[in-house]
A and B are shown apart, each in its own frame.
Chain A
């Protein structure tokens, strides 16, 4: 197969200019909201849909650039003296720009119907923050020097911080925002250091970093710093603690953007540094993201299973999916460093595919919870239930996302999982003993994570939408409006399309593996509906066939049953085992669904249980679950920081005479040093 190792650099960067114009368009849409900041109608009916159109245009442009496979460069005369802003559009950034545009199109459409005048930030101001957030994420993806990258990165962190604290009148939301801001800056610091190591003696452009020859030790240090920095942004355990706080605090479209898109910018950064800027990777670098990723999968899935807040549950599910993505990155590096470029390309495709999938399905689920939150005012799973009757649109569209994220064929979640498992199967050929044994075992963890995701999603969907309403007030719940439906349907369509057209998607993603690894996976089958990407192995998967055949069998069975047995259907009350009236309280709760997990994986959780006494007339059962990591790591760290700060503060007396004394003593010491040397 033809591998374009040296892609053509086009003289006139048409697509890149288009990208910049669209990103500026987003910023302009945001600024326009300030004209009438209190007007819900202007922001909701005009600006957010306009933002969605820009997202769509950006996606189209990015896909065009990806299919072209070229690289475009541009230098804008803004920024630091001596370091103008370098911009670059290549296949890797195109994939993530397409992801940003496509997800933003759906989310903005939904947001148009979602935001209403409320307690928090005014709609116009919110629109400004929202669209600047979008534009800065785009900026991260096209930046080609460390300065503009970090500038966009920080703009992204700040705008998203303001979005998280939209309802800033509530103390717990301010607290969540603070944790988010702290972690974002710890991560940014690590990224800054990584760039500092990488630039060597040259200028801070990515181009110079590519040609800088680092020693093995410095290169490894840069890689690990980047892993820490981007891992903190992505939510890799143990740096994930901000995620389950910030995602529930933010308004749902913002949660969707953060989880669906912003986490992927960190993945983009990791791929950019690990596979592009640092040159050919060393195989053992990959073990760090691989091990952390596998642990993150298990950790995220377990904590998702025991949550009772629907948005927290989704946040932990995002942690799990980030684990899948980093596992893929780790595998890519291990294979690429072991001289197996074709297999590395397979793992890289699985990684990128999962990024695309997750942006679609997680956004869809977060928006679904947003619609539920608006209709009921409840985030607690214990007070929901039976909403499929009241909100059919939301329920059925969310079902697609639920099945997709549970990794079920023929939807999209399964494709990336399948690709990842297929690349795991090459683990025994890695030319390093022990590693070739451990990698296939990692496959079991991925499988456990996927199966746990199924468990979590049954809980999520079953408790919210199925069963009987657990509160009387749920009977008044209403379905969402048209803009919201369009947004949800767009993302659901994305899930289905990514699931049914894997050959086409992989063909496009192959440009990235050609760029980064110099290898593409083969398409061994002559049929465009049959995915056969595994190098040298006759394995194939045809989701469209599966779907068509299942639908055909289902329809045939329905027809046969109808034809042969014309028995009618009678509605009766549910079977109560002779007990008498069933109440909605007798259904399994979210806590109940977490029970087997709490029991099986006890060491992971820090639990506090309140059990009722036998004579209690009004028995109550309470359980609170915390992550051990807070007691083990973060709280001691906070205490230590406090102690250091307090100790240092003793020098500061606040009296001018003391400070003069300090200066005087310093002067004396310096004089003494100067005299003695």
Chain B
């Protein structure tokens, strides 16, 4: 492992940490523009984090150590995931330690800790949120694995770098099977990141909350870590999408300083486009009832299965 690779690895993590709040800020800005509102500042998520970190932490009387540990574990898992996903280069030291399936497992571990922490204080909304969060999880996971399966069929590997490299070698076009699974992936991304139409990130009505309900008892630095982790999760999912479907600009093969000069701006451009796209989807759709979520996610699953059929039957 050369120094450049370790440097890129570190850079990837730092960029993820720094860019994740901006991505959310950009998404909110786009959404406000699309809805004819005055947009909040791009840096608002940063200010929020700073404010939260400076506050005194309030913890419920009967919270166990698990409650205080969970934000760190969730945050740690997301940071690690950011290091594993090949968002800039494919030959990085950490990427070999987990393939796409292990990455899904890592996200599942973070979700489990969040759900357990939500149940720890023992309020009605916390347990409700935990239950719903886990429900979205078990519906999204099969769809996500089918997406990964389709992507891995074309490259004979579930390792993200291998998928990215074989895609990048194939030119700009996207095969029909991958197009189907890309649609499925977008649906899963919306569900997993608590976006409209599955969950409303801006809601203040406890009854309709999913993700926010699990965080109700958190405050100050613990809340800041949880929010930062959620932003990182969105960033990570978008980057997984890039690795599976849009590998343009990612440095394949041994990485050099020139490659980074291409990879970083390309990533920024793709993130900007993705943020705008998500904002558009959120603007044109309405939040659905909780019991409609299974239909939404089975649609995602069906799209992925269509991709599989197209690949196996037509070889495309």
A residues contacting B by CB (< 8 A) are: 385-386, 388-389, 399, 403, 406-409, 414, 417-418, 421-422, 425, 428, 436-437, 440-441, 443-445, 447-448, 450-452, 454-455, 457-459, 461-463, 466-468, 525, 530, 536-542, 545-546, 549-551, 553-554, 557-558, 561, 564-565, 567-577, 582, 584, 586-588, 592-593, 595-596, 599-600
Q: Convert B107-134 into 0s and 1s, putting 1 for each residue whose CB lies closer than 8 angstroms to a CB of A.
A: 0110110011001111111011011101
Q: How far is the CB of B83 from chain A (nearest CB, A)?
A: 7
Shortest distance in angstroms between A385's beta carbon and chain B's nearest beta carbon? 7
A577 touches B206 (CB 8 A): yes
B61 touches A572 (CB 8 A): yes
CB neighbours (8 Å) of B206 from chain A are 577
How far apart are A493's CB and chain B's nearest CB, in angstroms? 20
In the complex, whether B135 has a CB less than 8 A from a CB of chain A is yes
Cβ–Cβ < 8 Å partners of A452 in chain B:
138
Q: Chain B: which residue is nearest A550 at the CB level?
A: B76
Supposing A448-B138, A567-B57 touch, asked if A436 and B312 sit within 8 A by C-beta, the answer is yes
- 1/0 contact trace for B244-257 toward A, CB 8 Å? 00000000000000
Number of interface residues of B (CB under 8 A): 79
7 cross-chain CB contacts under 8 A: A388-B120, A409-B105, A409-B109, A462-B130, A541-B97, A545-B94, A549-B83
Taking Cβ atoms with an 8 Å cutoff, the residues of B that contact A are 53-62, 64, 66, 72-73, 75-77, 79-80, 83, 94, 96-99, 101-102, 105-106, 108-109, 111-112, 115-116, 119-125, 127-128, 130-132, 134-135, 137-142, 145-146, 149, 152-153, 156-159, 162, 206, 216-217, 220-221, 225, 291, 294, 301, 305, 308-309, 312-313
Q: Report the nearest A residue to B54, measured CB to CB.
A: A565
Q: Are B62 and A574 in contact (CB under 8 A)?
A: yes
Give the distance to chain A from B23, nearest Cβ to Cβ, in Å. Answer: 20
Residue of A399, A408, A595 ringed by the most chain B CB atoms within 10 A: A408
- Kindly state the separation between the CA atoms of A676 and B228 in the bound complex, as whole angstroms: 96
What separation, in Å, do the CA atoms of A576 and B121 have in the docked complex? Answer: 11
Residue of B at shortest CB range from A569?
B57
Bound-state Cα–Cα, A408 to B138, Å: 13
Q: What's the Cα separation between A626 and B308 when bound, in Å?
A: 36
CB atoms of A409 and B116 under 8 A apart: no
Q: Are A553 and B79 in contact (CB under 8 A)?
A: yes
A436 to B315, CA, bound (A): 13
Contact for B58 among A428, A448, A542, A572, CB less than 8 A: A572
Query: Which of B134, B159, B308 contacts A440, CB < 8 Å?
Result: B308
Query: Nearest chain A CB to B199's CB is how many angstroms away?
Result: 15
* A467 (CB) vs chain B CBs: closest residue: B122
Residue among A407, A452, A536, A538 with max Cβ neighbours from chain B (10 Å): A538
Assembly CA distance A288 to B55 (angstroms) = 60
Given A444-B145, A451-B138, A577-B206 in contact, is the A388-B64 Cβ separation under 8 Å?
Answer: yes
Q: Across the interface, which residues of B come within 8 angstroms of A586, CB to CB? A: 123-124
User: A541: shortest Cβ distance to chain B, in Å?
Assistant: 5
A386–B122 contact, CB under 8 A? Answer: yes
Interchain CB contact under 8 A, B291 and A440: no
The closest CB in chain A to the CB of B105 belongs to A409
* B122:A409 contact, CB within 8 angstroms: no
Task: Give 5 A-B pairs besides A443-B149, A567-B56, A572-B59 with Cβ atoms closer than 8 angstroms.
Answer: A408-B112, A437-B309, A462-B119, A553-B79, A561-B53
Query: In this complex, what residue of A is CB-closest to B67?
Result: A466
